[in-house]
Structure 1
């Protein structure tokens, strides 16, 4: 597997994807987009991996778009309206589509500023843990742009419509304290403790039955758009699946026997 502009590392059940264009504040490139989609494919197909962490190299999570490339109207920013629309659909928008289909839990380890499309990437993850001092902003309007990779959809689902609308229209930056208060991040930790805190949270998830975790995640996301009856039907279907797995039997037995369960993902 050859990846460009990011690193993929696996430590047993945990896979870590690190955006690695530190000289551009980990801004997206075409190669990074392709590599990120590939890395997610690899993680999903690896039965040993139970959780994926996404973080940034250096002191930035992601600055979003490459401003110098943007100014030069090169690469993903080149062309007229029709060409640019196609570039978004076939380029950066592959990421939210792939993340939405990704079954395993994801955690954003926000080691520094998450700006523009960088904030949107953090919002695509299931959980967000931030280093104290990180900054967040949907700053597209300050560049004469709109959230082009799903941010208008994603942010409102996390912080609510009124707060998302205010952040998008003002483009202002918020700190970790405000981000936690409005529900944008789940936890704030000292920067030196970030990856350890992320691993602890990932381990809490990974200690559970893998298939149950994946279907529970799917149920929460899909139920958001369903009426109650449809959500109950979906839950009944998923429950019918997991209740007939060896991991369910193991979970029940471990609880009765007052011991830690040993889940095998079956």
Structure 2
């Protein structure tokens, strides 16, 4: 177990990193310190080739309730004395976290064990998969405080659920139970109450058993293709197969297939 003030990090399964937001009294509302620690942990995950999947969840009964508006974040107090500092807080804080997750070429799973609202929903949507407990609530509550979807929600929400639905959610400060959120495009899979983490770890273990080279290249290709034409995407694919096809993992996959064995991928 690593030593942080606002997050917990461990490796409960081979090749799987688990990070828990650890401010349960605030429903894991993020603080300046939490953003710093998350960025450190994400960077460590990226650089460690032994780690193949990251699972992000919350300690206690919440995933993340967005930014901390309780004034409990002492690191934020002095920063907020000047109006321009509000923008700097976002740029150096949760903006860095969201961008770090979006730029990862390794998979990230959000295990949504409770409320994921406002910036907490943006954090979940920055992950590749969202496994939610059936009683978890998701939505954008920022409007209740006359705040904005400023952590990245203005970009992430419409891409997940469509512009009209995203506008309605934000303007009316709506939240949805997990199954409705799934129908709206915010959740990948809904599971029984209390099972989000277990199911996420199971998914992580299955992904970790795949070729890490193929997983990373496939994620990079699909993510980049969201902003490309078909022709541009195919050009990138042609470059990627020059890396993937000659790899030892492809040879191992073919060998295991014909011998009817489970492949053992190394990422080489």
**TM norm. shorter chain > 0.5:** yes
- Aligned to 2:148, the other structure's residue is in SS state coil
Match of 1:245 in 2: 247
Whole-Å separation in 1 of the counterparts to 2:158 and 2:81: 30
Matched ranges for 1:25-36 at <5 A: 25-36=27-38
Change (3 A) 1:221 1:76: farther
- Select the residue among 87, 90, 102 that pairs with 1:88: 90
Match of 1:20 in 2: 22
Whole-Å separation in 2 of the counterparts to 1:72 and 1:170: 30
Kept in 2: contact 1:103–1:218 (CA 8 A):
yes
Kept in 2: contact 1:70–1:77 (CA 8 A):
no
The yes-or-no answer on 1:7 pairing with 2:8 is yes
Kept in 2: contact 1:76–1:84 (CA 8 A):
no
Report the count of equivalent residues.
266
- Aligned to 1:47, the other structure's residue is in SS state coil
State the 1:91 CA deviation. Answer: 1.9
Kept in 1: contact 2:31–2:73 (CA 8 A):
no
Q: Which runs of 5+ in 1 are unaligned?
A: none
Matched ranges for 1:31-180 at <5 A: 31-69=33-71, 74-75=76-77, 78-180=80-182
- Aligned to 1:67, the other structure's residue is in SS state coil
The yes-or-no answer on 1:224 pairing with 2:222 is no
State the 1:4 CA deviation. Answer: 2.0
Kept in 1: contact 2:20–2:56 (CA 8 A):
yes
Change (3 A) 1:183 1:76: farther
TM normalised by structure 2 equals 0.94
Q: Which runs of 5+ in 2 are unaligned?
A: none
Whole-Å separation in 2 of the counterparts to 1:50 and 1:247: 15
Instruction: Tell me whether 162-171 or 60-69 shows the greater mean CA deviation.
Output: 162-171
TM normalised by structure 1 equals 0.94
Instruction: Tell me whether 209-218 or 39-48 shows the greater mean CA deviation.
Output: 39-48
- Alignment deviations for residues 105-126 of structure 1 (CA, whole Å, 9 cap, x no partner): 0000000011111111001100
Kept in 1: contact 2:135–2:178 (CA 8 A):
yes
- Aligned to 2:195, the other structure's residue is in SS state helix
State the 1:191 CA deviation. Answer: 2.5
Whole-Å separation in 1 of the counterparts to 2:243 and 2:166: 37
Change (3 A) 1:76 1:231: farther
Kept in 1: contact 2:57–2:197 (CA 8 A):
no
